[in-house]
Amino acid sequence: MKLLDHYSTNARALPWRHPPGHDGPRDPYPIWLSEIMLQQTTVATVTPRFERFLQKWPSVEGLAAAPLEELLGEWAGLGYYARARNLHGCAVKVAEIGGFPSSEAALRQLPGIGDYTAAAIAAIAFGEDAVVIDTNVERVVARLHAIDRPIKDVRPQIRTLAGELYAGVPSGEMAQALMDLGATICRPKNPKCEACPIADDCKAYASGNPQAFPPRPAKAKRPERHGIAWWIELDGQLFLTRRADKGMLGGMAALPGPDWQDGEAPPSPLPAIRHVFTHFALTLRIEQRSQPPANLEGWWHPLDRLEEAGLPTLYRKAADAMLAQRKEAPLHA
């Protein structure tokens, strides 16, 4: 098939990927790890973090034995932190059963592994027949057939049409070929149709406006939330706490503060940062305090080693804002 031929000579060199045509054994651990990391995170962001994870925990058994707090700290900055908790839970389960199962159905029973990830691991790591569909594959299929409805409304049709591409070919190779095509050529904006190996078969290309397919649904306005983070500094150390296991940024190191509130942030002279999550935008004001509240559990972390604290992006932004402000003017308690 033209697409597989193109993939054989143009495949991206990725640290978790075997080259096209590789027939030797494949360790499912790095394939699983990469798939979890790549959920809603770019290849460019994941690549150095993936390599660091493998250096620190070269086996699933090693990852299972690591304290969850250590894994969460290493995950900081990758976002979607429930993935990190599921990653640890899955590693523990796989270590208990003695290895990754090879079937889609069994893989789906593991923490944090949904339909796509189960299909990808089964196909790429174990050579099982599976129809692997991520957002890149959805877009390629929708354009091939000039589907003029939003993806969310036609997923059963997309799956049926994708199944035709996987029929009679190695599923792992086809999955990676389609993902590469969607990531590098059949891009959401400005697709490079002149470089596409299957452009002659593409109805969206034939229409003269391939970028119009599939149509995007209207974006809903993102809700607003607001909150306060306490900056509690003493003798060159910053007081940090750990967020509750359940909920946003669960289990992550954080600046302490009260629960976030719904709605627009009220006017305030306090410095603030803004952070956009998937489902809402947050305005976080930063309030300086001299001491932590009584009975608040936490620890003092050296300010000159703040990069070792494992702060997620939100709180790292808040810390950077305060440190930048201090360079401009002295802080007042």
What digits encode the pLDDT tens for the residues 138-165? 999 999 999 999 999 999 999 999 999 9
Catalytic residues: 35
Is residue 133 within 8 A of residue 159, CB to CB? The reply is: yes
Measured distance CA(191)–CA(174) in Å, rounded: 20
Pairing of strands 253-254, 237-242: antiparallel
Phi-psi region of 169 (alpha: psi -120 to 50; beta: other; left: phi over 0): beta
Give counts: helices (H), strands (E), the chain.
13, 7
Measured distance CA(194)–CA(197) in Å, rounded: 8
Domains of the chain: 2-212 (1.10.340.30), 224-328 (3.90.79.10)
Encoded tokens for 289: 């305090």
Mean of all residue pLDDT scores within the chain: 95
The structure's pTM equals: 0.87
Other C-beta atoms lying within 10 Å of the C-beta of residue 164? 12
| Percent of all residues in the chain with a pLDDT value above 90, rounded to a whole number | 92
pLDDT digit string (tens) for 190-243? 999 999 999 999 999 999 999 999 999 888 899 999 999 999 999 999 999 999
Q: Three-state SS for 233?
A: strand
Least confident of 65-69, 177-181, 266-270, 326-330: 326-330
